[in-house]
A = this chain, B = another copy of it.
Amino acid sequence: MSKDGVQTQSELPVFGTGQHLLSVMQLDRDVLTRLFATAEALRPVGQGTQVCRILEGAVLGSLFFEPSTRTRLSFESAFHRLGGSVVSTTGFTFSSMAKGESIHDTARVVSGYSDALVVRHPDTGSVAQFADASVVPVINAGDGSGEHPSQSLLDLFTMRKELTARGKSIDGATIAVLGDLRYGRTVHSLLQVLGLYDKVSFRVFGPPALALPAEFFERVAASGNHIVECGSVAEAIAPADVIYCTRVQKERLSEEDEQAVHLEGDLINREILDRSGRPDAIIMHPLPRDSRHNSFDLSPDVDDFPGLAIFRQTDNGLLVRMAIFSHALGVADEVTKNLRPASWYRR
Which residues from chain A sit less than 8 Å from chain B, CB to CB? 17-18, 45, 48, 51-59, 61, 67-70, 72-74, 76-77, 80-81, 83, 85-89, 94-97, 99-102, 104-106, 108-110, 112-115, 135-136, 247, 251, 287-292, 295, 297, 300, 311, 314-315, 318, 329-331, 334, 342-347
Contact = CB atoms under 8 A, between A and B. Distances in A.
A12 to B, nearest CB: 16
A94 B70 contact: yes
A79 to B, nearest CB: 9
A83 to B, nearest CB: 7
Contact of A87 (B77, B314, B343): B77
Contacts of A51: 56-57
Contact of A288 (B54, B68, B89, B96): B96
Contacts of A48: 57-59, 115, 136
A45 to B, nearest CB: 8
Count of chain copies: 3
Contacts of A292: 100
Contacts of A76: 87
Contact of A297 (B83, B86, B100, B346): B100
A298 to B, nearest CB: 10
Nearest to A116: B344
Contacts of A87: 72-73, 76-77, 80, 86
Given A17-B345, A48-B115, A314-B112, A288 B73 contact: no
A80 to B, nearest CB: 4
Given A48-B115, A345-B330, A110 B59 contact: no
A96 B86 CA distance: 23
A311 B100 contact: no
Nearest to A74: B113
Minimum-distance CB pairs A-B, first 5: A330-B345, A51-B57, A100-B290, A80-B85, A96-B288
B311 A112 contact: yes
B291 A101 contact: yes
B109 A70 contact: yes
A300 to B, nearest CB: 7
Contact of A311 (B68, B69, B109, B346): B109
A342 B85 CA distance: 14
A318 B287 contact: no
Contact of A70 (B102, B110, B297, B330): B110
- Candidate in A17, A81, A114, A115 with the most chain B CB atoms within 10 angstroms: A115
B99 A80 contact: no
A74 B73 CA distance: 20
Given A287-B105, A300-B102, A80 B94 contact: no
16 contacts: A58-B342, A61-B73, A67-B95, A69-B94, A69-B96, A80-B86, A85-B85, A99-B288, A100-B292, A101-B288, A102-B291, A105-B288, A108-B311, A109-B314, A331-B343, A331-B345
